[in-house]
Structures are given as structure tokens and as C-alpha cells.
């Protein structure tokens, strides 16, 4: 379908925000019915004469709030929201437990002064000139080869560049033939489902990255949520779960921020080694951003028996709209891949792969990462410093890595109350409860998630000032001192 979205360049709102607000209102009004397929981000960008990154950002926000869903290889579809936007608390509804963190909204969309979204990134420092030059170089001299079908696993030179980077930066041990390039981790998980048997039981950290859960659930896998302790996924509970596959984020668990210590990693590998056919799926989504100490090597680098399937993406380190992710298969699964799914064409164009290959090979990626680490570290330090007054009533966690922090309340206020008070002040924060697969498994005390990547330092300071008033930080501090 086509969407005629009235955009106003002088409206004072970013274009992606206007697209997001328009589609959201159309869904809430019932003009866009549940299960309606939306145009792709590329097609919508072409129709509106804007960049694809703009439409991608709008869709990402709609995805994060639960108004639409992304179905691998099919597109974006409107979700049924009746009953969710009013209470968001109905028991037994998995989608409800995910979306109720944003239910501070009433009938209309608040005019957020500051949105502490944990999904955003900073695009202000994106090297547009370099990317533009590399794009031009890729198509110089009418390079017709770029328009022919390429290797289903991804371009050989790009995969070799990936291998070198993963080995030097993440300690991943593999050869280029083990790497499969795809457009987003959702597609790669779908591909993996055709490599592994469909009767598997998948254990997931709880809380977890809900998009991965949705993919597994849509593929009819039995998903078993396993609670975590302070070191990450509990190995004893994993053994009792009956699972034969575990999806983990050991380098920086989302959303808790836990960095899994070596001992726990060894325990998970031991679990995988105990029975034939057990695998660990390691999602290494944002390991590039660590602010104290050295980066934690990937779990895959410790694997001695070919049991770790490694996933990574450029969405956080470069931009979500680039849509380039990768999967490193154990050698034992390569023959299965070739027999079952090698006929699928790569979902990333050869042009995009070549641009990113040049970006990496010429050293631009490393320089961009160093620049972004400095940018995010500066924002991180501003946020940490601004949260000092909050320590009397909040436990602050996750401060060593990633692009978000956790604030756990010490004053017996509910998560819903914290979100509501923040919304009344014009600040959007996100509840931890929304990341649990089933609401009844939520054992966390009231906790909110503060993302800062897409905010300026000034916006961070402004947002914290508004939260200080909304949550009466000084008042609580005085009471604590009496």
C-alpha cells in the first residue's frame, strides 16, 4: 500500500518524528487496520522524496513501541493495539507486557521534551562525505558487476574483511567461509531456523531482547525464559529448562547491562558440550562501546568444540538503516547450510557490501568507532554526573558499557508511577518490565531504562533536570537525611 504522509519541513519537528506520529495516529484511529502491510522503508522514502534512514528511524520507533511488527522476508505489518494503549497491564498477554512500558500516553501523543530511548544512536557524527565518496567509487566506470547476483553468503572480500575485524577486535576464531551476511539479525535467525531442526527448545535470558523472542516465537519454536543472577544466565536453571539451544548476550546483556564473567561463560560452554546437538547463540550487538577496561572477548573465541553460533551487526556502530548483519556458523553446520539453504540469495546488495568493505579496508570504520566511542563516552559521563543527586533514591547500574543505564527505585514507588510522573514532565523513560517474555516472570524491583545515544549533552542535562522535579529527588534526599 501507499502512504500519503503530509510532511512539513518548517514544522519544527524532525521528518522521522512526523512520519512516526502520523502512522501511529492512523493506527490508533483505526484507519490502518491490524495486519495491514506497510510500505517498505525504501519505498516510503522514495515516495516521500526523503532519505531511507529517516523512514527507518520512524519505523524503528513504531517497532519499539509495539505499533507495528517486522516479519522476516515479508515486511512491516500493523499490530492490533485495542486494549493495550489504555491499561497495558492485562495478565497473560505477552504483547501487553511488552508494550505497557509506553502506556504513559493518554488519548494523544505527549510532546516529549526529552526521549531517553535505549534504541537510538547518534547520527550527527556519521561520516556522510566519506560514505558518499565510497558510494561514488563503487559505481565508477559503470561497474556492471555490482548489479549481478553475488555470493549467497556475501561478497568474499567483505567476509574476509569481517573475519579480520572480528578476530582482532572480538577474538572470534573463524574463516571467511563460516560467515553469512544478511539484512538484519531477524533474517539471520530465520535462516538459522532452517539450518537447525524445528523441534528445538530455545532458552532465553529473562529479561531479554524482545525482537529475538518474537522471531523465535513466529517460527514456532518453544521458548523457555531462564532467569539471570548477577553474572548473567543461570547455568543451573538452564540445565533444568530442558533446552538444547540458548540465546545469550554475554558481552553486554540487553537490557540489564550485565557483562558475563569468564567462569559463567565456561559453565555455559560446559552445558553445551554435555550433549550432542546443543548450541549457544551469541548475540554480540554492541560490544564496541565499553568505557572502563578493555573490550570483553567474544564467547565464541573460547569455544573449543564448535558449539557457538555468533551474531553481530553494524546497526549500533554505524547506522540502523544500513541493515547489514552477519552470522558466524560453527564448521559443523556449514554442510547443513549448503544442503538446506544455500540457494537463498544474499539479502544485502553487492553495492552496499562493497561500500562497507571499502569503509573497513581503508580504515574509516576503525576511525569512526574511535570517534563514536569518544562521543558516547562524553554523553555517558554527562549522564553519570547528572545522576549523582539521584543516588539517594535510585540504584544506578550498567554504567560500564553500552548506550543505556538502569535506575532501580529505592522508595517503593511502582515502575508505572515513575513512568507516569516522567511523562507528565514531558520526559519519556522505559520500564524494565517490558523486556520480560512473560509478565509473571518479572522479579525485578521497579526499574527504568535511560538510553542516551540519540540525545545531545544539553538534552541529557535538560531531561535529568525535568526528572529531578518529576521524581522529587531533592525531597527524597532530605527525608533520607532526617
- 3-class state of residue 388 by DSSP: helix
For residues 159-168, one letter each, b for 16 or more C-beta atoms within 10 angstroms of the residue's C-beta and e for the rest, the string is bbbbbebbee
Separation of alpha carbons 404 and 291, rounded Å: 12
Separation of alpha carbons 414 and 434, rounded Å: 14
Backbone angles phi, psi at 284, to 5 degrees: -105, 60
Separation of alpha carbons 286 and 264, rounded Å: 20
DSSP state string for 52-94 = HHHHHHHHHHHHHHTSEEEETTTEEEEPP-TTTTTT---TT-H
- Domain 129-362 part of CATH 3.40.640.10: yes
CATH 3.40.640.10 location in the chain? 129-362
Can you name the residues that pair with 78 across neighbouring β-strands?
Answer: 68
Separation of alpha carbons 216 and 60, rounded Å: 19
At residue 395 the predicted structure's pLDDT band, cuts being 50, 70 and 90, is very high
- Other C-beta atoms closer than 10 Å to the C-beta of 280 total 25
Question: Which percentage of the chain shows pLDDT scores above 90?
Answer: 52
Ordered alpha helix ranges (H), 305-363: 331-340, 350-361
Asked whether the predicted pLDDT for residue 233 surpasses 60, the reply is: yes
- 3-class state of residue 163 by DSSP: helix
Better-scored residue on pLDDT, 303 or 105: 303
Separation of alpha carbons 115 and 430, rounded Å: 9
Tell me, what's the pLDDT at 100?
33
Ordered alpha helix ranges (H), 210-349: 210-218, 235-241, 262-274, 331-340
Dihedral of CA atoms 370, 372, 377, 379 in degrees, nearest 10, equals 160
Dihedral of CA atoms 351, 352, 355, 358 in degrees, nearest 10, equals -100
Q: Give Cα separations from 392 to 114, 161, 381, 401 (angstroms).
A: 23, 48, 19, 23
- 3-class state of residue 480 by DSSP: helix
If residue 157 lies in a helix (H) or strand (E), which one and from where to where?
A: helix 156-165
CB 192 within 8 A of CB 186: no
Better-scored residue on pLDDT, 98 or 455: 455
Q: What value does the mean pLDDT take over residues 214-218?
A: 92
Residue 220's Cα: distance from chain center in Å? 22
At residue 237 the predicted structure's pLDDT band, cuts being 50, 70 and 90, is very high
Tell me, what's the pLDDT at 414?
93
Better-scored residue on pLDDT, 389 or 103: 389
Tell me, what's the pLDDT at 66?
76
Tell me, what's the pLDDT at 379?
93
CATH number of 367-481: 3.90.1150.10
Asked whether the predicted pLDDT for residue 96 surpasses 60, the reply is: no
Q: What value does the mean pLDDT take over residues 140-168?
A: 86
Tell me, what's the pLDDT at 72?
73
Lowest mean pLDDT among 107-121, 217-231, 369-383, 387-401: 107-121
CATH 1.10.10.10 location in the chain? 15-82
Tell me, what's the pLDDT at 11?
55
At residue 307 the predicted structure's pLDDT band, cuts being 50, 70 and 90, is very high
Averaged confidence pLDDT in the chain: 85
CB 455 within 8 A of CB 379: yes
Better-scored residue on pLDDT, 351 or 145: 351
Separation of alpha carbons 405 and 413, rounded Å: 19
CB 126 within 8 A of CB 71: no
Handedness of CA 77, 80, 86, 87 (dihedral sign): negative
Tell me, what's the pLDDT at 91?
32
CB 280 within 8 A of CB 308: yes
Can you name the residues that pair with 181 across neighbouring β-strands?
Answer: 326
Q: Which CATH number fits domain 15-82: 3.20.10.10, 1.10.460.10, 1.10.10.10, 3.10.129.10?
A: 1.10.10.10
Separation of alpha carbons 62 and 79, rounded Å: 10
- 3-class state of residue 310 by DSSP: strand
CATH 3.90.1150.10 location in the chain? 367-481
HEC secondary structure over 22-53: HHHHHHHHCCCCCCCEECCHHHHHHHHCCCHH
Tell me, what's the pLDDT at 293?
58
Q: Give Cα separations from 258 to 51, 352, 360, 377, 426 (angstroms).
A: 36, 33, 29, 18, 30
At residue 481 the predicted structure's pLDDT band, cuts being 50, 70 and 90, is very low
Backbone angles phi, psi at 240, to 5 degrees: -80, -15
Closest CA to 315 of 211, 444, 442, 173: 211
Backbone angles phi, psi at 163, to 5 degrees: -60, -45
Tell me, what's the pLDDT at 475?
53
185-195 and 210-218 helices, crossing angle to 10°: 40
Backbone angles phi, psi at 128, to 5 degrees: -60, -40
pLDDT tens column, 252-298: 888 988 888 889 999 999 999 999 999 999 999 877 777 665 667 89
pLDDT tens column, 155-197: 999 999 999 999 998 999 999 999 999 998 999 999 999 999 8
DSSP state of 168: I
- 3-class state of residue 405 by DSSP: strand
Amino acid at each position: 500500500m501507499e502512504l500519503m504522509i503530509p510532511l512539513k519541513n518548517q514544522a519544527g519537528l524532525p521528518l522521522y518524528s512526523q512520519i512516526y506520529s502520523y502512522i501511529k495516529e492512523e493506527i490508533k484511529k483505526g484507519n490502518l487496520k491490524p495486519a495491514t502491510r506497510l510500505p517498505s522503508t525504501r519505498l516510503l522514502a522514495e515516495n516521500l522524496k526523503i532519505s531511507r534512514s529517516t523512514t527507518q528511524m520512524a519505523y524503528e520507533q513504531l517497532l519499539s513501541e509495539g505499533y507495528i511488527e517486522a516479519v522476516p522476508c515479508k515486511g512491516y505489518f500493523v499490530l492490533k493495539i485495542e486494549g493495550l494503549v489504555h491499561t497495558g497491564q492485562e495478565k497473560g498477554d505477552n504483547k501487553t507486557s511488552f508494550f505497557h512500558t509506553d502506556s504513559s500516553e493518554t488519548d494523544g501523543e505527549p510532546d516529549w521534551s526529552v526521549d531517553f530511548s535505549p534504541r537510538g544512536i547518534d547520527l550527527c557524527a556519521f561520516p556522510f562525505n566519506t560514505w558518499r565518496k565510497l558510494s561514488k567509487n563503487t559505481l565508477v566506470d559503470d561497474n556492471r558487476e555490482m548489479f549481478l547476483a553475488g555470493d549467497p553468503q556475501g561478497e568474499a572480500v567483505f567476509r574476509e574483511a569481517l573475519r579480520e575485524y572480528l578476530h582482532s577486535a572480538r577474538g572470534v576464531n573463524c574463516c571467511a567461509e563460516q560467515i553469512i551476511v544478511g539484512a538484519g539479525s531477524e533474517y539471520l535467525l530465520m535462516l538459522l531456523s532452517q539450518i537447525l531442526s524445528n523441534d528445538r527448545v530455545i532458552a532465553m535470558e529473562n529479561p531479554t531482547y524482545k525482537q529475538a523472542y518474537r522471531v523465535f516465537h513466529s517460527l514456532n519454536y518453544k521458548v523457555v525464559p531462564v532467569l539471570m543472577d548477577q553474572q548473567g544466565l543461570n547455568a543451573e536453571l538452564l540445565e533444568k529448562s530442558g533446552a538444547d539451544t540458548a540465546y545469550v548476550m554475554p558481552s553486554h546483556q540487553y537490557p540489564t547491562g550485565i557483562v558475563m564473567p569468564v567462569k559463567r561463560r565456561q559453565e555455559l560452554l560446559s552445558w553445551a558440550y554435555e550433549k550432542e546437538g546443543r548450541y549457544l547463540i551469541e548475540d554480540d550487538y554492541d560490544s564496541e562501546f565499553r568505557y572502563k577496561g578493555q573490550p570483553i572477548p567474544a564467547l565464541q573465541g573460547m569455544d573449543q568444540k564448535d558449539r557457538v553460533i555468533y551474531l553481530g551487526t553494524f546497526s549500533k556502530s554505524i547506522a540502523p538503516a544500513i541493515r547489514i548483519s552477519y552470522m558466524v556458523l560453527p564448521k559443523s553446520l556449514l554442510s547443513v547450510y549448503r544442503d538446506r539453504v544455500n540457494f537463498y540469495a544474499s539479502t544485502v546488495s553487492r553495492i552496499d557490501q562493497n561500500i562497507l568493505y571499502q569503509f573497513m579496508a581503508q580504515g574509516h570504520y576503525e576511525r569512526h568507532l574511535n570517534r563514536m566511542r569518544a562521543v558516547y563516552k562524553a554523553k555517558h559521563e554527562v549522564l553519570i554526573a547528572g545522576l549523582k543527586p539521584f543516588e539517594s533514591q535510585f540504584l544506578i547500574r550498567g554504567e560500564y558499557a553500552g548506550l543505556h543505564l538502569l535506575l532501580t527505585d529505592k522508595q517503593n514507588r511502582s515502575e508505572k508511577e515513575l513512568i507516569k510522573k516522567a511523562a507528565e514532565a514531558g520526559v519519556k523513560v522505559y520500564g524494565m518490565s517490558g523486556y520480560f517474555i512473560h509478565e509473571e516472570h518479572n522479579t525485578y524491583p521497579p526499574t527504568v531504562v535511560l538510553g542516551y545515544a540519540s540525545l545531545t549533552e544539553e538534552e541529557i542535562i535538560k531531561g535529568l533536570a525535568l526528572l529531578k522535579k518529576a521524581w522529587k529527588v531533592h525531597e527524597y534526599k532530605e527525608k533520607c537525611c532526617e
